[in-house]
Structure 1
Amino acid sequence: MASATVGLLQSNSHTKWKPTPEKNEVYRKIMQDSTWADGLRGIAAVYVMFSHMTLAFARYIVAPCISENGPSHLMQKPIFRLVAQGPAWVASFIILSGFVNSLRPIKLAKAGQVESALSNLSTSAFRRSFRLFLPALAATVGSWVMCQMGAYETARNSDAYWLSITSPKRSQSWGTAIDDLIRAVVNTWTFDPNNSYDQPQWALLYLLLGSMICFTCLLTVVNLTSRYRVLVVLACWRWGFNWDVKIGARTSCHLIQQHPC
């Protein structure tokens, strides 16, 4: 599949694209294979790491220019500045995850294997929670142990902004440390996620929420034909904007009540 993808791109690199049955079949096979999406998710993860390094050691790149009316650095210009834009890559990762999670149930549904598709959705929804929770728990516990051993003290007192604000402080006692660990694990999976031992875990709640919405939508449309499936998904997509506004508004009100200015 990878060689077919490369061959297709090379064949179209110097010629105007013209649809043919052969090309359409290759495109169809590519879209039914998740290998390329997994590769793009890996690239997105690498660029998220780059954005964290930028926040730590080169924060000036995050802004579009050096000063309000000043010139722009090369890495602040369009395209180049994507290296420092972590949220864009997080969004890409979430979209690609939705594609990968949806691929197999839709393939089974199109093949007429509706019961297998429903079974796959059931197991996928169950496994997805553990695939997110267990690695996050392991990372939190590992970071907690390092913190209690004093591994973050140098970073906390450094001039690197992102390192200093995301490096946790050692607990005053082991009893307090256990309480801090439990609070960090719980806070990862609540709105306003704040895991002091692994700050980037703020995105996991939204990955889980998006996955559950995706599985619920697939459960609704898995028994429909392709045409009606697309129509229902488009309607849910449009309606989803209203959900986002309401959920966001309620979350904002809750945060204001908890943390008034």
Structure 2
Amino acid sequence: MKSATLRGLRHLLWPKSLSSSDAPKPLRPTAYLDGLRGFAAFLVYIHHHELWAHGPKMSKVFENAFGYKGNFYLTTFPFLRNFFVGGHLAVAIFYVISGYVLSYKPLSLIHAGEHLKLYDNLASAFFRRWFRLYIPLMVTTLVYVTSWHVFGIWVKMGDPKGTIGEELWNWYVEFKNFSFLYKEGWMWVSYNTHLWSIPLEMRGSVVTFISCMALSRATSKARLICLVGLIYYFMYVVDGYYCALFMMGVLQCDLDLLARKDGYFPRWLRSLEPFKTFIYYHVLIFGMYLGGVPSETQETDQLRASPGWYWLSYLKPQAVFDYKWFYLSLAGCMIVASVPRIPWLKRFFETRFCQFLGRVSFALYLVHGPILNLLGDRVYYAHEPIKHWANLIPLPKTGPMGLEIAFLVPNLLLLRVTLWADFVTRTVDTPAVKFSAWLYKAIQGDGAPEPKPVELAPLTRVE
């Protein structure tokens, strides 16, 4: 009995990662998207750790182009920089993938003419979406802020209140405002500032569901034209880049589904089929270049002063306030579109490593910030001259910027702890998904038809 209990506890707490002996499950047709999403979440982890460990002064170098103001570092070189400060590019990729995945089933039903099933699918997805996104966020931030007072932990980022009661009230106020989709102004939760993308994810999801419903009776040609029109509207008319990214994902999904069946498919795209490998290699290269857009400020003049970006700076639409999101939107769309058309790249994202990252990607996104704040702050400072952590573990800073020994060695511990996101996936994320599905089923009752409402008697006509 004791042995079984210990095995169960170990199974719960120990990350079920690449060392697992479980037989690999058959891959889904869109498994590469799971791997790409997981790898993108890993880029977010790297981005935040690089900026945190190197401090504000060097962070400006990371965020600027190779050669800007005479700074030439390998980690800022075009293409390579995406693997060090590719966090914002990762968010763009998240949104395109979400648009693709959320619309896959609805579009499949639209193509099959199953409009009643489409309604049921969209009703279920719409109902469950808020719970799926916000329950894990609520649980992880609540545990995080409670730990400050229970264990007396000092944190660099945050403003702990005097008592745990004050803290919980402040957490409640922040969360309720953060969870309201239509709150005016920027939505921010100070307990984990990395979660700013979640409300935009929810908004983009709503736009995706509404678009699928609104265009469900349209012809294939008309639907594609409308999706292109929505992308143009969100990007060039209003500053809604995140909605444009979701629509890019929907458009890619629709084209992929149309390509597999007889019927309408743009002839000009079909004529390019023999050259698709050549084309998509160039699409990937151009997307990777755009994904490295300098992003220290929102000033277009600074972008024009960056080597390799002068002429590209004139592509920015007037409607876009923060220029980087225009280029990142193009980059995210190009990368997601090119991955399944380049065999070796698709196989990479279907590997066990990327599939594991895909499975824990949401939890990884949720917990890497608190772990960086609680543990990373102390581990990185263990070799910095700061208070009582001064040089506890002296490490040399030799190596290229971003790959110094003093950065890589702490990550042997920090990465392993952060991959404990698998524990959060199993204990928070997966139960949240199951709860939302259960709740949706529960509100439908036993499936018996609703009684008809009592009709009012018709008014007697007076002659």
TM-score by length of 2: 0.42
Higher relative contact order at CA 8 Å, sep ≥6: structure 1 or structure 2? 2
Contact 2:66 2:78 in 1 (8 A): no
Equivalent runs, 1:92-171 vs 2, <5 Å: 92-149=93-150, 152-153=153-154, 155-156=155-156, 167-171=157-161
Partner of 1:244: 239
Amino acid at match of 1:213: V
Contact 1:188 1:201 in 2 (8 A): no
Amino acid at match of 1:208: M
SS at 1:148's partner residue? Answer: helix
Amino acid at match of 2:34: D
SS at 2:125's partner residue? Answer: helix
SS at 1:244's partner residue? Answer: coil
SS at 1:61's partner residue? Answer: helix
Partner of 1:78: 78
Contact 1:188 1:204 in 2 (8 A): no
Return the alpha-carbon distance in structure 1 between the equivalents of residues 153 and 80 of structure 2.
31
Cα deviation code 1:75-101 (max 9, x no counterpart): 111111112131111111111111100
Return the alpha-carbon distance in structure 2 between the equivalents of residues 187 and 46 of structure 1.
28
Contact 1:147 1:169 in 2 (8 A): no
How far off is 1:169 after superposition? Answer: 2.7
Contact 2:40 2:94 in 1 (8 A): yes
Contact 2:146 2:164 in 1 (8 A): no
Equivalent runs, 1:52-91 vs 2, <5 Å: 52-58=48-54, 59=59, 60-65=61-66, 68-83=68-83, 84-91=85-92
Cα gap change, 1:71 to 1:177, in 2 (>3 Å): closer
Counterpart pick for 1:233 among 224, 227, 230? 227
Partner of 1:161: none
How far off is 1:181 after superposition? Answer: 0.9
SS at 1:195's partner residue? Answer: coil
Residue 44 (structure 1) aligned with residue 40 (structure 2): yes
Return the alpha-carbon distance in structure 2 between the equivalents of residues 52 and 71 of structure 1.
21
Residue 212 (structure 1) aligned with residue 212 (structure 2): no
Cα gap change, 1:126 to 1:231, in 2 (>3 Å): same
Contact 2:40 2:93 in 1 (8 A): yes
Return the alpha-carbon distance in structure 1 between the equivalents of residues 212 and 153 of structure 2.
44
Amino acid at match of 1:173: T
Contact 2:149 2:163 in 1 (8 A): no
Contact 1:146 1:152 in 2 (8 A): yes
How far off is 1:65 after superposition? Answer: 4.5
TM-score by length of 1: 0.72
Cα gap change, 1:42 to 1:214, in 2 (>3 Å): same
How far off is 1:218 after superposition? Answer: 0.7
How far off is 1:199 after superposition? Answer: 1.3
Larger mean Cα displacement after TM superposition, 76-85 or 206-215: 76-85
Return the alpha-carbon distance in structure 2 between the equivalents of residues 88 and 70 of structure 1.
25
Return the alpha-carbon distance in structure 2 between the equivalents of residues 138 and 124 of structure 1.
22
How far off is 1:151 after superposition? Answer: 6.0
Amino acid at match of 1:95: V
Return the alpha-carbon distance in structure 2 between the equivalents of residues 225 and 119 of structure 1.
21
How far off is 1:37 after superposition? Answer: 1.4
SS at 1:69's partner residue? Answer: helix
Cα deviation code 1:57-77 (max 9, x no counterpart): 1324233247x5223111111
Cα deviation code 1:33-77 (max 9, x no counterpart): 4322122111111111111111111324233247x5223111111
Return the alpha-carbon distance in structure 2 between the equivalents of residues 82 and 215 of structure 1.
31
Amino acid at match of 2:218: L
Return the alpha-carbon distance in structure 1 between the equivalents of residues 47 and 152 of structure 2.
22
Residue 184 (structure 1) aligned with residue 174 (structure 2): yes
How far off is 1:244 after superposition? Answer: 2.7
Residue 224 (structure 1) aligned with residue 225 (structure 2): no
SS at 2:161's partner residue? Answer: coil
Cα gap change, 1:110 to 1:55, in 2 (>3 Å): same
Return the alpha-carbon distance in structure 1 between the equivalents of residues 146 and 41 of structure 2.
25
Cα gap change, 1:150 to 1:43, in 2 (>3 Å): same
Return the alpha-carbon distance in structure 2 between the equivalents of residues 116 and 86 of structure 1.
37
Cα gap change, 1:33 to 1:224, in 2 (>3 Å): farther
Return the alpha-carbon distance in structure 1 between the equivalents of residues 38 and 119 of structure 2.
28
Return the alpha-carbon distance in structure 2 between the equivalents of residues 192 and 107 of structure 1.
35
Cα gap change, 1:240 to 1:214, in 2 (>3 Å): same
Contact 1:140 1:185 in 2 (8 A): no
> If you compute each CA radius of gyration, which structure gives the higher value, 1 or 2?
2
How far off is 1:202 after superposition? Answer: 0.8
